[in-house]
């Protein structure tokens, strides 16, 4: 079965499910992805926020991926 990058739905998502989807794709804990994203946002001066917003619109939800 091939992996598909998608946003998580249900109890695994916090805001839009982007970090949860990335964590599921790479088989790591979602908390680690969220912490890394927060650190990148602090030191990246806004660029990771723009990337997150773009990923919200580009990544399909888990229920839409077949």
Give the per-residue pLDDT at 5.
Answer: 85
Q: Which residue has the higher pLDDT, 36 or 11?
A: 36
Across 7-27, average pLDDT: 86
What does the alpha-carbon distance between residue 50 and residue 66 come to, in Å, rounded to a whole number?
A: 27
pLDDT tens, 23-44? 989 999 999 999 999 998 888 7
Candidates 62, 60, 35, 40; CA nearest to 51 is 40
Task: Answer for the pair 8, 17: CB distance below 8 angstroms, yes or no.
Answer: yes
At 66, is the pLDDT very low, low, confident or very high (cuts 50, 70, 90)? low
What does the alpha-carbon distance between residue 47 and residue 42 come to, in Å, rounded to a whole number?
A: 10
Give the per-residue pLDDT at 27.
Answer: 92
């Amino acid at each position: 079965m091939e992996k598909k990058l998608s946003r998580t739905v249900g109890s695994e998502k916090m805001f839009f499910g982007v970090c949860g989807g990335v964590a599921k794709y790479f088989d790591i804990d979602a908390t680690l992805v969220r912490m890394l994203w927060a650190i990148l946002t602090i030191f990246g001066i806004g660029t990771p926020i723009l990337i997150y917003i773009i990923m919200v619109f580009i990544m399909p939800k888990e229920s839409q991926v077949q």
